[in-house]
Structure 1
Amino acid sequence: MKLPNALQMKELDVATIQEEEISSYDLMERAASQLASFIYTHFENKNRPVVIFCGPGNNGGDGLAVARKMSQHGYTQLQVFLFNTSQSLSEDCQTNMTRLQTECPNVTFTEITQQFEAPQLAANTLVIDALFGTGLGRPLGGGFAALVQFINASGTEVISIDMPSGLMSEDNTLNSPSAIVRATVTLTLGLPKLALILPDTQFFAGKVYVLPIGLSETKIAELQTPFQITEHAEMRALLRPRPAFGHKGTFGNGLLIAGRYGMAGAAVLAARACLRAGVGKVTIHTPTCNNDILQMAVPEAVLHHDTDERVFSKAIHSEAFQAVAIGPGIGTEKRTALALIEQVSHSALPLVIDADAINIFGSHKGWIAQIPQHSIFTPHPTEMKRLGICNNDSFSILLEAINLAKRHHFYIVLKGHYTAVCTPKGYVYFNPTGNSGMATAGSGDVLTGIILALLAQQYHQEAACRLGVYLHGLAGDLAAQERGEYALTASDLIDFLPQAFACLQQQESLPWSQRLGLDWGKHTK
C-alpha cells in the first residue's frame, strides 16, 4: 500500500474526478458519507454533545458535510464552528456551509470571522477536528495554535478528519508539538500518510483508520512514491517452494559470527532462528568459551572456534558459505573491531551486519566505505544515529537511513514498530507485522538469524530483508495471540516461526488492525 505525500493526494483527487466525470463536491460527499458511517458505527450515542471545529478549506468542508449527515441521522446536540477569519472559504466548503444552514436548522452553527468565544466542553463531549488536512505546509500559529491547545486541554475524545490538525503529512521536524491536535481517532481518507506511522508523530493520531473513498485505481498504480506498506500477498509471492529433491546443500550454509564471553545467548538465538527459517546448515564462529553452551543449546549447528577464548579476534575464510551474518553479542573490543573490518572488507558473500558490529562501524565511520555494496544493516534508531549524523526525530532518522542506503548501496533495516527496509534505490518498505511484546532482549538476534537463512537459500538481499522482517513480526503476532504481549521472549519468536511460515502460505493475512490500532481500508459503509 502506497503512502502518498500531500501533493500526490491532490493529484489523486483530480484524477478520480476526471476519470469518473464527477465534481470535487461529489468526491467530498463520498468522503463525508464514509466518515459519517464510521461515526454512526463507533459513536452511537445520538444524544451525546458533539462539537465540530471546521477550517476554511476542504477539510472544513468535510466537517460541515459530516455535521449535516449526523443531524439527518438523528444526532441531536451538534454544535459547529466554522473559522473564516480571512473571509475566504473554498468553493466546496461554502456549498456545505449553505446546505448545513438550510437543511439542518437544529444544528447550532457559528461562523467565526473575528473574535472566538470558546464553548464549554464537558467531559463527555465528542470533538470532531476538521480544521486542516493534508494540505498544511507550515506549523500552526496564532489563534489556530491557541484553539488546538484548547482542544488538547479539554480531555475529551477527539476525531480528526484525514490528519490531526497541525500535523504535516511527512516532515514535522520543525513543527511545534503544542500546536498539533492529539486525536483519539484519526479517519484518514483514501490512503495512509507517512506521519501516521512514524513513532513520534503517530502519537498525535491515536487509533488510525483508512477509509476508502474510491480514488482512481489507475492513478494509484501509476503513483511514484518511495514509501509503501508491505502487504501479505506480496510476501506470500516472495516465499519460494522448497524443492522436493533438495538436500541440505540446496538450502545453503550460513556463517554466523556471534557471541563473546557472557553473550553466548545472542549466538544461540540467532542460530536457532536461522535453522527454523529453513537454512540447510549454520556454522557458528565463536570464542571457545561458548563451546559447551552452544553444543547443548543448538546441537544442529556446526561450531568453528576463534583462536581467542573470550572474544572474536580473527577473521576467517568464508568461501565455503553462501552468506554471512556478523555482530550479535561480539562486543566492541579493539581486537574484535579489527577482526570485523578485515572480515567484512574481504567478503564477497551476502552480508548481514547487526548489533555490536553496527556499533563498531558507528565509532569508525571511515571504515564504512570499505563495506561491500548490497550489505544489509539492521540498526534500531539509536544505532542508526551512531552510523549517521541526524536529529532525534523519527523523520530525520529515517532520512539518514535512506541516504546511507543510497550513498553506499546498502540495505538498511531500520527496526521499530513499522520496521523500514530502505533500499539502494531509495525505496522504503514499512513492515506491518509485529507488536510491542517483541521489544525484548534477543529479538534482533532472531531477525538476524532469519535474514541469514534466507540469504543462504539464495534469496536476493531485498527479498530477504522484506520477507525476513515480515516473518519475524508474524511470528511475534502469533506468539502474542497465544501468550500475550507482556510475556513474550525472543525464544517465543523462534518457537512460532513454523506457524508464521504456514500462515504466510495462506491466502489471507492476520487482522493487523486489532494489533496495530489501524484499519487499512477495512471499514466500509
Structure 2
Amino acid sequence: MKIFSKEQIYKGDQVTAKKQKISSTELMERAGMQIFNWIHQRMQGAQVPIHVFCGIGNNGGDGLVVARHLTIYGYNVHTYVVNCSDKRTEDFLVNYDRIKQTTKKWPIMLNCEADFPPIGPDDIIVDAVFGIGLNRPPNDWIKGLFQHFRASKAFTLAIDLPSGLYADQVPEDENGVVWADYTLSFQSPKLVFFLPQTSKYTVQWEALDIGIDPEFLQATETEVELMGKLEMLPIYQPREKFSNKGTYGHALVVGGSYGKIGAVVLSARAALASGVGLVTTFTPKCGYIPLQSSFPEAMVITDTDDEKITAISYDIAPTAIALGMGMGTHKETHLALKEFLKNNTTALVIDADALNILAAHKADLKLLPPQTVLTPHPKELERLIGTWTDDFDKLKKAEAFTKKHGCILVIKGAHTITVFGNKFYVNATGNPGLATGGTGDVLTGIITGLICQGYEPFIATVFGVYLHGKSADIAVEDYGYQSLTASHVIDYLGRAYLNLFEKPPVPEPAQGNGQGNAEGKKA
C-alpha cells in the first residue's frame, strides 16, 4: 500500500475534483460520509453522547459533515467549533451553513478553557480540529482542550490525523496532540503512524477509500510503502516439481565466539527454515560440537582458533553469506573481516558484531559488494549513521547512508523499515514478543536464505522482514508476548508461508501500534 505525502494528498484531491467534475465541497461530503458510515455501522443508533470538535479549516469541514449526518440519523450529537483563528476555509463555511439548516442545535463556539464542555468516560469524541495542513503548534488553550479530551478517558476517534500531529515532523510537545484511540485516515495511512516517536498518538488506524482518482493513485510514485500480505503474494516464488537442494542455494553463516555460538545456530536454523537448500556454518573451533550436536542439518567449518575468528577461509561456493552474529570485535576478527571483504564478491547480509566493526572502521564500508544488506538494532544503527534528532532525521540519515554505500538498510522496530535508495518500506507484521534476544539473528538467517533461493537482495529483505514478523504474530497466539523466543519464530516460519494463501486473509496488526486493542476502548 502506498503511503502518500501531504503534498501528494493535496494533488490527489485536485486531480479527483477535476477529472470527476466535482467541487471540493462535494469531495468533502464524500469523505465525511465515509466517516459517518464507519461510525453508524458500529453504533447502530446507540444514544451514547458524541462530541464532534471541528476546527475552522477543511478538517473541521469534514467534522461538520459527520455531525450533520449523525444528527439526521438521530444520534445524541454535540457539535463544537474550536475558534482558533479568524480565517475559515470556504468548504468549512459551506458545511457550517448546512448544519445550521439541518438542526436548531447549532454548533457551540469554543474560545477559551472556560468553554470546554463536560465529557464523560463513556462518551465518544470525534476529533476534527486540525488536519494534515497543520504547520505550527496549537496555542495554549487548544492544548488544554486536547488534555481535556485525554483526561475524560472517552473513546477518541480522529479524522485523518490526530489533531496537533504533523504529517511530516515530530511535534515538540506531546500535550499539544490529541491521543486517539482510533484514526480514520483518508485513502492511505500516514507515515507518522509507524514511527516510534509518533505512533503513540493513535492506538489503531484504518484507511478509508474516499474515491480519489484511481489513475492518480496508481501512477503516483511514493517515497514510502506499507508492505503487507497483498504486497507479498506477488513476491513469493513457488517451487518447481523437479527441483533439488542445489536449486535453492547454499547459505554460509559466519560468526560466533566463545560463549556466543547460539547466535550462529539461530541464524543457520532460520536460513534452513526459510527454504535454502544447504547450510554451512563457519565458527571458531568452540562452535564445532554445539553445532554438530544441536543442528544436524548444517555442515560445519571452523577457524584454527578455539575462541574467536581469526581468518575466514572455506572451500565451498556459497550463494549468500550471513556475517557477524556473536562474532565479537577482537582485533584479529576485524583483520579477518577486512581481508575477507577485500576478496569477496558473494551477496552479504551483515549483522551484529560485523556491523560494530564496520562502524568503528568506516573506511571498510567501501569494500561491501553492491546491495549488501545491513540489519542493525537501534544502537548499531546509531554507530553506523550517527545520532539523530528525531525519527524523521533518522530516516533522512539512513537514506543518505544507503545511497553513499549502495546498500540496503533495515531499521528494526515495531514497524521495521527497509531503506533502499530513496524509498522506505514499512513492514506490516510483528509484535512486542520480538523484543527478546536472538530474534535479530533469526531475521539475518531468513534474509540470507531467501537470497540463496533466488530472490534479489532487496526483495529478500522486504519479504524476510515480513515473514519474520508474521511468524511471530502466529506464534504469539500460542506463547504470548512474554514467552515468545527466537526459536519459536523459526518454528513458525512454515505457518507464516502458509498464511500467505489462507482465505479469508488474516487482518494485519499494522493497523495499530503493536498493542492491539489493549489500550483502547470500543466505539
Could you state the TM-score of these two structures normalised by the residue count of structure 2? 0.93
The equivalent of 2:521 in structure 1 is none
Q: C-alpha distance in 1, partners of 2:312/2:413?
A: 31
Paired residues of 2:202 and 2:512 also in contact (CA < 8 A) = no
1:139/1:389 CA distance change after superposition, 3 Å? farther
- Name the structure 2 match of 1:159: 157
- Structure 1 residue matching 2:460: 3-state secondary structure: helix
The reply on whether 1:247 has 2:244 as its aligned counterpart is yes
Q: Which amino acid aligns with 1:370?
A: L
Residues 317, 294 of structure 1: alpha-carbon distance in 2 compared, 3 angstrom cutoff: closer
Q: Kindly state the Cα deviation for residue 414 of structure 1 after the two structures are TM-superposed.
A: 1.3
> 1:25 corresponds to which residue?
25
Greater Cα offset, 199-208 or 242-251: 242-251
Cα deviations by residue, 1:269-321 (Å, 9 ceiling, x for unpaired): 11111111121211100011121111011111110001110112212257621
Measure the CA separation in 2 of the matches of 1:245 and 1:47: 64
Any gaps of 5 or more consecutive residues in structure 2? 517-523
The answer as to 2:300 corresponding to 1:285 is no
- Residues in 1 aligned to 2:113 and 2:195: alpha-carbon distance in whole angstroms: 36
Match status 1:449 vs 2:448: no
Q: Tell me how far apart the structure 1 counterparts of residues 472 and 134 of structure 2 sit (CA, whole Å).
A: 37
Shift of 1:85: 4.7
Structure 2 counterparts to residues 162-241 of structure 1, below 5 A: 162-172=160-170, 175-241=172-238
40-49 or 363-372: bigger deviation: 40-49
Does structure 2 conserve the Cα–Cα contact (< 8 Å) formed by 1:374 and 1:410? yes
Overall identity of the aligned pairs, in %: 37
Distance 1:154 1:335 in 2: 61
Partner Cα distance (2:511, 2:205) in 1: 12
User: Partners of 2:356 and 2:44 in 1: how far apart?
Assistant: 52
| Alpha-carbon distance in 1 for matches of 2:232, 2:78 | 47
Instruction: Give the aligned partner of residue 523 of structure 1.
Output: none
Q: What is the distance in 2 between the residues matched to 1:14 and 1:73?
A: 31
Q: Indicate whether 1:488 and 2:487 are aligned.
A: no
2:94 is aligned with 1:98:
no
C-alpha distance 154-391 of structure 1, shift in aligned 2 (>3 A): farther
Alignment of 1:107-506 (within 5 A): 107=105, 109-112=107-110, 117-172=115-170, 175-317=172-314, 320-391=317-388, 393-423=390-420, 425-506=421-502
| 1:49–1:288 distance in 2 versus 1, CA, 3 Å | same
Residues of 2 paired with 1:289 and 1:440: CA distance? 25
Secondary structure of residue in 2 paired with 1:321:
coil
- Secondary structure of the residue aligned to 2:440 is helix
Residue 86 of structure 2 corresponds to residue 87 of structure 1: yes
Contact kept? 2:433, 2:476, Cα under 8 Å: yes
Amino acid at match of 2:38: F
Cα distance change, pair 59–377 in 1 and its aligned pair in 2 (3 A): same
Shift of 1:377: 0.2
Cα 1:185–1:318 change in 2 (3 A) is farther
What is the distance in 2 between the residues matched to 1:498 and 1:114?
58
What are the superposed Cα offsets for residues 465-485 of structure 1, whole Å, 9 maximum, x if unpaired? 111112212222222233333
Q: How far is the alpha carbon of 1:133 from its aligned partner?
A: 0.8
Q: CA deviation at 1:403?
A: 1.6
| 8 Å contact kept, 1:161–1:187 | yes
Q: Secondary structure at the match of 1:250?
A: helix
Give 1:505 deviation, angstroms: 4.4
Kept after mapping to 2: 8 A contact 1:258/1:285: yes
Could you tell me how far 1:109 is from its partner in structure 2? 2.0
Offset of residue 513 of structure 1? 4.5
Tell me the distance in 2 between the aligned counterparts of 1:514 and 1:135.
Answer: 25
- d(CA) in 1 for partners of 2:470 and 2:88? 47
Q: Distance in 2 between matches of 1:278 and 1:97?
A: 60
Give secondary structure in 1 for the equivalent of 2:321: strand
Kept in 1: contact 2:224–2:423 (CA 8 A): yes
Cα deviation per residue 1:332-360 (whole Å; 9 max; x = unaligned)?
22222222222233310100001121122
Q: Which amino acid aligns with 2:492?
A: F
Note the alpha carbon deviations across 1:80-137, whole angstroms, 9 max, x for none.
22134533211111111111112122x3522346886222223333222111111112
Q: Distance in 1 between matches of 2:8 and 2:505?
A: 28
Q: 1:306 to 1:85 in 2, by over 3 A?
A: closer
What amino acid does structure 2 have at the position aligned with 1:511? P
In structure 1, stretches of 5+ residues that fail to align are 520-525
CA distance in 2, matches of 1:508, 1:404: 40
Q: Secondary structure at the match of 1:229?
A: strand
Structure 1 counterpart of 2:41:
41
Query: CA separation of 1:68/1:318 partners in 2, compared to 1, >3 Å: closer, same or farther?
Result: farther
1:138–1:175 CA contact under 8 A, matched in 2 = no
Does the 8 Å contact 2:429/2:510 carry over to 1? no
- Give the match for residue 522 of structure 1: none
Secondary structure at 1:458 match in 2: coil
Do the aligned residues in 2 keep the contact of 1:260 with 1:330 (CA within 8 Å)?
yes
Find the counterpart in structure 2 of residue 16 from structure 1. 16
Task: Report the AA paired with residue 68 of structure 1.
Answer: R
1:486 counterpart SS class: helix
Contact 1:53 1:130 in 2 (8 A): yes
Length, aligned pairs only: 515
Most deviating of 288-297 and 508-517: 508-517
In structure 2, relative to structure 1, the CA distance for the partners of 1:299 and 1:395 (3 Å cut) is same
Q: CA RMSD for the aligned pairs?
A: 2.2
Distance of 1:115 and 1:182 partners within structure 2: 19
Does the 8 Å CA contact 1:54/1:83 hold for their aligned counterparts? yes
> Are the counterparts in 2 of residues 54 and 60 from structure 1 also a CA contact under 8 Å?
yes
Q: Which amino acid aligns with 2:409?
A: I
| Aligned partners of 1:233 and 1:507 also within 8 Å | no
* CA-to-aligned-CA distance 1:177-209 (integer Å, 9 cap, x gap): 221111111111111110011122010122111
Cα distance in 2, alignment partners of residues 103 and 445 from structure 1: 61
C-alpha distance in 2 between matches for 1:113 and 1:277? 59
